[in-house]
Amino acid sequence: MSGAEVKRTPFFKILIANRGEIALRIMRSARRLGYGVVAVYSDADRDALHVREADSAVRIGEALPAQSYLNIDTIIAAAKTSGAGAVHPGYGFLAENEDFAQACRDAGLVFIGPSPEAIRAMGNKAGAKDIMQKVGVPCVPGYQGADQSDAAMLTEAKAIGFPVMIKAVAGGGGRGMRLVADAAAFPDALRSARSEAQGAFGDPTVILERAIVDPRHIEIQVFGDRHGNAIHLGERDCSVQRRHQKLIEEAPSPAVTPELRARMGAVAVQAVNAIGYEGAGTLEFLLDRDGHFYFMEMNTRLQVEHPVTEAITGLDLVELQLRVARGEPLGLTQEDISFSGHAIEVRLCSEDACHDFMPQSGRMARWQMPDGIRVEHALQSGSEIPPFYDSMIAKVISHGATRDEARGRLICALEQVMAFGVTTNQGFLIDCLRHPVFARGEATTAFIGTNRDALLAPSADRGSDIALAALLLYVTHPDAPLWRRGRSLSATFPLGLRIDLGHGVQEIEICRERDGSYVAARNGDRFGFEIDELGEDHIRFRHDGLMDSAKFLRDGDRLFVLHRGVTLTVRDLTLAPPESAAAAGGDGKVRAAMNGRVVAVLVKAGDQVAAGQPVMTLEAMKMEHVHTAGVAGTVSAIDVAEGEQVTTGKIVVEIEAAA
């Protein structure tokens, strides 16, 4: 398109077709440039922070994404009703949906992203690989044919050779993706991948790829405009993942040399030019041990991890998106792009790393983020985390002159994160950042799988942390003797406490000595504490000759404690009746492990099942979780139906144990 043909597209108000932290992030840049902002919300997000922070907000439907954030007609209507002239899709949901981009165009709205044609060309993994191969970009060998039958897919997988990757052609974020080790596991993995892809993107089509062993996941940030300009902003290393979803991202990559960066960047810009791409995009590659890289896919949107690129380039990527969408030239050449220091981002997720990263939902009783570091979030104390959306609740981003400096700052910041009420991966992230393999810059996509036991192992201070939690339960109890600093008139008799930290009941005795100190006895170990200060939400104490402190929140019979980056949730069961082992499935009842939606009932009444056999699949926070039989026997009842939303602990399947 010639300069005479290029048209500027003015708009003055932007509807953000997304939720949570990315909605707030877009608002920040939009307002700085003088735009009004409109939020949309589902019933689950009625009181969400992004709704209250916007100039105006429009309800778009019920809680499930398909009934709200994926409803194109309703979102277009919301834009028209609010007077918005442009729509920013954020990431996820409809961000890479060509029908949504086309609907915006047809409605006379500016879609702040690439054209529908570009999304169609590159948003589909199979089509994108075809384009890349035609322009000479190396791609992973695989199958992306039209025959999607079970038999054909298994035949192709065998031809490629195991292990293979199953990937949904639409969307991203690890949904609809499965690593399959052998032919026997292939049918179940294929079914699960298709089901997850259908639920997340409305398209069950998948492709197959040869699994590259222990690669790095490297992505190149690109930008193009309608004037024919295209640049890259360097790479990000996103190798630390669980369930094929990124947890830690950094820029630059410890594995990428300036020469390799130039080669990968040139390939990425070549791809952008090949399709006349406009706006922000990311080309994702696998980098093997020998320095060979293979194209995986292109994300035709802003990435979750864009802040690390902003940190090392000094650019505002959302601002660039808005300027390109308005018809302005990028105003940058490749020579203008320079990199300063190192940046690392972690994704704080509401999930339990010790229970296979099971997603968690509920009320965040206390939420406080660290000062002096960039944090992207949309929560506050009392916020509800619904079970319908992604488990990521915040991003914490550090920047330093060196990688070690950035890593140290990030660890320090994470140790100060106060997230009481919903279990998060806070401690797991700290352990990842501290691990020698990550510290040396050697982490591949196998990092978590290879080092899982070490990363999840109890810390050396586990015993003293439990003792500290028990002490806080004792001294903050409404009926406890009033704490006063100094000597006690007399020692107290040991008081037995029964507490639950989510992984089994602990028996602990607490007593106060004549010198005013406390002793917590557990499993034959004795832990001594001297309290120097006890406030409403903090304690300062001495233990083993060391002055230390912790933050806490007492909420009825529950206590939340933050100590050196470790968050403990403790329940006081001292006066509660003993709990049965029913929750483990020993009574033949399979209970929902989280709030979620039933996506597959794998058995029917009368079926014979073995202990450990899959019987039900729930979807929570965009991921599927298989539930298994706790005992061998006969299925006596199915208590839910596919599509039903269930709460944690609800009985979903009943099994009559075999005699």
Q: Which residues are catalytic?
A: 301
How far is residue 381's CA from residue 420's CA, in Å, rounded to a whole number?
9
Q: Decide: helix, strand or coil at residue 208.
A: strand
The single-letter DSSP state of residue 350 is S
Q: Decide: helix, strand or coil at residue 543.
A: strand
Sequence-ordered list of residues with C-beta below 8 angstroms from that of 47, at least 6 positions apart, any chain = 384
Q: Decide: helix, strand or coil at residue 231.
A: strand
The upper half-sphere exposure of residue 547, i.e. CA atoms within 13 Å in the direction of its Cβ, equals 3
How far is residue 49's CA from residue 47's CA, in Å, rounded to a whole number?
7
Tokens representing 327?
A: 């018809």
How far is residue 376's CA from residue 347's CA, in Å, rounded to a whole number?
10
How far is residue 639's CA from residue 629's CA, in Å, rounded to a whole number?
14
How far is residue 202's CA from residue 199's CA, in Å, rounded to a whole number?
6
Residue carrying the six token digits 């490629």: 160
The upper half-sphere exposure of residue 498, i.e. CA atoms within 13 Å in the direction of its Cβ, equals 9
CB of 509 closer than 8 Å to CB of 521: yes
Handedness of CA 33, 37, 41, 47 (dihedral sign): positive
How far is residue 31's CA from residue 22's CA, in Å, rounded to a whole number?
14
How far is residue 249's CA from residue 346's CA, in Å, rounded to a whole number?
7
Handedness of CA 121, 127, 129, 130 (dihedral sign): negative
- Cα–Cα–Cα angle for 652, 655, 657, nearest 5°? 155
CA-wise closest residue to 142 among 123, 124, 129:
129
Q: Decide: helix, strand or coil at residue 17.
A: coil
How far is residue 361's CA from residue 384's CA, in Å, rounded to a whole number?
8
Tokens representing 494?
A: 């040991």
Sequence-ordered list of residues with C-beta below 8 angstroms from that of 146, at least 6 positions apart, any chain = none
CB of 235 closer than 8 Å to CB of 219: yes
Residue carrying the six token digits 């991921």: 623
How far is residue 583's CA from residue 564's CA, in Å, rounded to a whole number?
32
The upper half-sphere exposure of residue 97, i.e. CA atoms within 13 Å in the direction of its Cβ, equals 21
One-letter amino acid at 268 equals: A
Q: What long-range pairs does 485-493 form, CB within 8 A, spacing at least 24?
A: 485/516, 485/531, 485/532, 485/533, 486/516, 487/514, 487/515, 487/516, 488/512, 488/513, 488/514, 488/515, 488/516, 490/514
Residue carrying the six token digits 């997304």: 18
The upper half-sphere exposure of residue 92, i.e. CA atoms within 13 Å in the direction of its Cβ, equals 22
How far is residue 148's CA from residue 137's CA, in Å, rounded to a whole number?
26
